[in-house]
Structure 1
Amino acid sequence: MSTDDLMEIQQLLGRYAVHMTRGDIDGVLAVFTPDGTYSAFRDTYPLDEFPALVAAAPKGLFLVGTAVIDPAEDGNTATGTQPLCFIDHATHDLRIGYYNDTYVRTAEGWRLRTRAMTFIRRSGAHDSGRPHAYERPGA
């Protein structure tokens, strides 16, 4: 994997955080592959459910750190982990944790295929989260 590839993935992840902070769901969706998924709250969500999931979530600042990226030998896929500190805009309460990701090179450039959230609790536990305010269709 080249330095250019690493920079492109870092920019991709930066766009995710900025678009989430701004509430720009189209910008968020654009960083994923069409078959991309997001996992949290003990479940995995396809992209068509992501707008409703984001609408139900608190709003605020998505402050992310530099991701550690592990390229696959094929040169067209990679995995990574990126730390996150979310700050609620209304209360300034924090949520901390990290994303575990898979990336794939597409004709449009690098994209997220999967993003899974792990929360870090005050107890020190790492978990996928408590059930969210979002209710899946048909649930």
Structure 2
Amino acid sequence: MEIQQLLARYAVCITRGDLDGVLGVFTPDGTYSAFGDSYGLDEFPALVAAAPKGLFLTGTPAVDLSGDTATGTQPLCFVDHATHDLRIGYYTDTYVRTDEGWRLRTRAMTFIRRSGAHDSGRPHAYQRPGT
């Protein structure tokens, strides 16, 4: 239940544009992977700023616990606020129990395309500043 609440906070905070809330669900060394690359929390503000805004609808995660660590997969349907276009896919996560409770250590996005292909996104959908 604690992990489900952690992931609910992620979805609500990113939907509301609450960057501090989003960062708070990760461990300090946490990473987010998409677009063919992995990003540390220091890069998350630029990633969020560049991303389309809208509603992040997430499903109940499938979680495998192993003591104070866990892995999981959570389905996602993103609805763009301006066009109501949909993006679907799933997150593949690792979690760790900290003194503050469960936190995401890694979160990797996989998009599901109309063709049925599953991929991490177009490499040029986001470019790091200065690259």
TM over 0.5: yes
Contact 1:56 1:133 in 2 (8 A): no
1:25 aligns with 2:19: yes
Residues 18 and 132 from structure 1, CA distance in 2 versus in 1: closer, same or farther, beyond 3 angstroms? Answer: farther
**Is the counterpart of residue 34 in structure 1 residue 28 in structure 2?**
yes
Maintained 8 Å contact 1:52/1:134: no
- CA RMSD between the two structures: 0.8
Map of 1:47 onto structure 2: 41
Q: Match of 1:100? A: 92
**Contact 1:57–1:133 (Cα < 8 Å) also in 2:** no
> Unpaired segments of 5 or more residues in structure 1?
1-6
SS in 2 for 1:84: strand
Give the equivalent residue in structure 2 for 1:3.
none
1:127 to 99, 119, 126: 119
How far apart are the structure 1 equivalents of 2:70 and 2:78? 25
Aligned-partner Cα distance in 2 for 1:29–1:36 = 9
Query: What TM-score comes out, normalization by structure 2 length?
Result: 0.98
Once the two structures are aligned, what percentage of the paired residues are identical? 85
Please report how far the alpha carbon of residue 137 of structure 1 lies from its aligned counterpart in structure 2 after TM superposition: 2.9
Is 2:57 aligned against 1:70? no
